[in-house]
Structure 1
């Protein structure tokens, strides 16, 4: 089973300065490979089709980087739309039905999280399936956890699991959320309230590459992973 994939590459990368003064964060390299290319490798390996990348800050560099590849661009040059607004804008490129989304500013070891999400997806029970990692295994994470996970795999707010930056989600209700720029947290809250938001716990390594000091931590994880 294949699913469309949205890679969120439109952020400003403020925490990654000064590395992002002249380069967008998705093009920052970890162990010689750009974060965006690492995300694309996961998508291709999982059979994702189509793949859409959104752009905003220094977006022309990302478009040039992707030239010649079968990747669609959702250009947010005029207005940064956040994750919810960005996904809603990209829906004409993604098609109907559940979609995968992926944050490129993380590094993984172990099983491909997108393939794991596809294998675990149950559309009868789920409107969202989020990849999570335990807080004590969330390398370079700054801050606490995001969710708790119950015995049935449903998530609730607050707890010792961190959203890992990959998910499958039904985008249908995005049209009901007012405003142009908004976070997917608003859609998650609706699904959590209905018991339709679930978690898949990633058992491999995970590193949040949100700041320059996280890069050597991610490279060490990859070396030993």
Structure 2
């Protein structure tokens, strides 16, 4: 699932007429970097949630990505949409949006935010297999803390568990990259009370679910050190595009 429903307030005025996932980063719409990586990894289905100017996203990417020859189905990445804005008038936040899309997702699925640039990240099938075997509810990729989130989000134990550290705990923290493997079970009781499909359009963030699962030792994590940018401001977008010549 790719998250593309946010308003992008900090990116205004750029996002007044263009949804943030369609802003150009190094010659491509930002969301396309994830789609390309998923396609190259052999993923064959993706769900994109939308709200603000969501029709532009579905009009741009349509229902198929990367189809080279009609006779070669291996080249096809099928795209479906969860149009939160059209259904409820606004975005449902991350957990609410995932719950809404849950009937379109499998028991285990990738999650990535459409406003993050991570051109080195590989949606590795081996990571999926390891996650399924682990029994964990989530596996997070954490990154070294950027300047705009110097305190970080979660700790990491020596045996690879994500930690919900108390506010006064001085242990090192890392920033959640917004890339994860998730189990659909995380969006059911006792972790989440939103009915599958979220028919009422309940808004809910993801972090409380993750923290609850961490407190029960059900979330693993690893540090990702590849290129990563939360494209949250016009300045960060401009910086990425100024250094486009450094990208192969």
Q: Quick check: TM above 0.5?
A: yes
2:159 corresponding residue in structure 1 = 152
Contact 2:137 2:186 in 1 (8 A): no
Structure 1 residues 45-54 or 212-221, which shifts more? 212-221
Write the mapping of 1:1-225 to structure 2, written as runs, cut at 5 A: 6-69=1-64, 70-77=78-85, 78=88, 79-95=90-106, 97-112=107-122, 117-118=127-128, 120-135=130-145, 138=146, 141-158=148-165, 159-176=172-189, 177-178=192-193, 180-219=202-241, 223-224=245-246
1:171 & 1:143 partners in 2: Cα distance? 31
Give the CA deviation at 1:223.
4.1
TM-superposition CA deviations, 1:99-143 (whole Å, max 9, x none): 1100111112434255574365253342110011111xx3x6445
Q: Which of the pair has more CA radius of gyration? A: 2
Change (3 A) 1:219 1:160: farther
| TM-score for the superposition, normalised by structure 2 | 0.79
TM-score after normalising by structure 1: 0.87
Given the superposition, is the C-alpha separation of residues 89 and 191 from structure 1 closer, same or farther in structure 2, using an over 3 Å criterion?
same
Change (3 A) 1:221 1:118: farther
CA distance in 1 between partners of 2:135 and 2:186 (Å)? 16
Q: Distance in 2 between matches of 1:45 and 1:215?
A: 25
Where structure 1 has 5 or more consecutive residues not aligned to the other structure, the ranges are: 1-5
Q: Structure 1's 224 and 53: CA in aligned 2 closer, same or farther, altered over 3 A?
A: same
